[in-house]
Structure 1
Amino acid sequence: MPNRDDALALLKEYNENPALVQHGIQVGACMAHFAEKNGEDVERWEIVGLLHDLDYEKFPDQHCHKAAAIMQERGYDEETIRAMMSHAWGICTDVEPQSLMEKTLYAVDELSGLVNACVLVRPSKSIMDLSVKSVKKKFKQKSFAAGVDREIVRKGAEMLGLELDELISEVIEGMKARAEECGVA
């Protein structure tokens, strides 16, 4: 199976928008954090995070389905492809998150976008001083980062058996661990 560097190169091959590449890197960092925390395969989980929106820029009408074909062509296994598909459950796929990796991706995708938006409006422009309380406050403001589906975040936390505060805290920690690469230092 291709490694993390291969996945990052593939993400950049299909996405010219730096924000989409950065989002993939951020979700990958969150996935790596959760994998480590749960004693899972850190590289596999990170790859799933990196590639979850692989096809979004070039093939938005075929989101996930085109990515599955590309990933299959590049030698990714069914578990990795299925996990990628599950992040868009109920939106453009019917692949319900079942494994811990799938549920984690479902939970952190939208939330990492909200955390990133919170960083951008901070005076420091850094995740290093971002608190759960600040994110929770913005979470309640529907107009802030309006593209973030709060219901998916709630459902994801529930799937993982986590309180919303705990999920937010772990996403912050995951991005903080790789703040420089995530563009939130």
Structure 2
Amino acid sequence: MNRNQAMDLLKKHLKNKNLMKHCLAVEAVMAGLARHFGEDEEKWALAGLLHDIDYDFTKDDPQRHSLEGAKILEEAGLPEEVVYAVKVHNEAHGLPRNSLMDKALYSVDPLTGLITAAALIRPEKSLFAVNVESLMKRYGEKAFARGANRNAIAACTELGISMEEFMAIGLEAMQGIANELGLA
């Protein structure tokens, strides 16, 4: 499945514009991490783009979220490693994160929320007004971006990189699509 086909599939199932932007952000960061690790950028980006494909109809049922998405992706013929990464990004299922892609998606998902929130509190409302130092500070503030699971972000160390490096890769990737995210 190419990106255009993936976007069509996502738009078929996901109508929330902010959630669509979230998926674009996760796609960008996953692609950036794949480049960093020398992994398959296309597969990692697809996992990021499609990870919340079922959220419009599972948001009130965390036990179904990502399982329904995995079914959609499996039926669409996506590679098993992408389907599995999407399935295990929701820790509610207690499934092991085995691959580097699994671990990355789990940590990237909440990171994009933290980065977006950090941009939105700036007067400029721009990703370019954010830096890693400010992200680390905001990460430590429990009341800031409460929905961004700090434990999941911290699990980035399972990728063999520091949180600062992880945040730098994520921020740079999101800055690369700042216009699409409405945060230029």
C-alpha contact (below 8 Å) 1:82/1:95 kept by paired residues: no
Q: Deviations over 1:139-178 (max 9, x none)?
A: 11111111111111112x2211222111111110111122
Query: What is the distance in 1 between the residues matched to 2:162 and 2:44?
Result: 22
Query: What is the distance in 2 between the residues matched to 1:85 and 1:102?
Result: 9
C-alpha contact (below 8 Å) 1:117/1:145 kept by paired residues: yes
> Within 5 Å, which residues of 2 pair with 1:81-160?
81-89=83-91, 91=92, 93-155=93-155, 157-160=156-159
User: Which runs of 4 or more aligned residues in structure 1 lie more than 6 Å from their structure 2 counterparts after TM superposition?
Assistant: none
Percent identity reads 39
Query: What is the distance in 1 between the residues matched to 2:11 and 2:95?
Result: 25
TM-score, scaled relative to structure 2: 0.93
Matched, 1:73 2:75: yes
Match of 1:18 in 2: 17
Query: What is the distance in 2 between the residues matched to 1:108 and 1:87?
Result: 9
For the residue of structure 2 that corresponds to 1:58, the secondary structure is helix
Matched, 1:168 2:167: yes
Deviation at 1:100, TM superposition (A): 1.3
Aligned length: 181
Match of 2:42 in 1: 43
**Residue segments in structure 1 that go unaligned for 5+ positions in a row:** none
C-alpha contact (below 8 Å) 1:52/1:84 kept by paired residues: yes
RMSD: 1.3
Match of 1:64 in 2: 66
Amino acid at match of 1:63: H
Amino acid at match of 1:138: R
Query: What is the distance in 1 between the residues matched to 2:78 and 2:159?
Result: 25
Query: What is the distance in 2 between the residues matched to 1:44 and 1:69?
Result: 17
For the residue of structure 2 that corresponds to 1:57, the secondary structure is helix
Query: What is the distance in 2 between the residues matched to 1:161 and 1:39?
Result: 14
Deviation at 1:129, TM superposition (A): 2.6
Deviation at 1:71, TM superposition (A): 0.9
**Residue segments in structure 2 that go unaligned for 5+ positions in a row:** none
Query: What is the distance in 1 between the residues matched to 2:159 and 2:79?
Result: 24
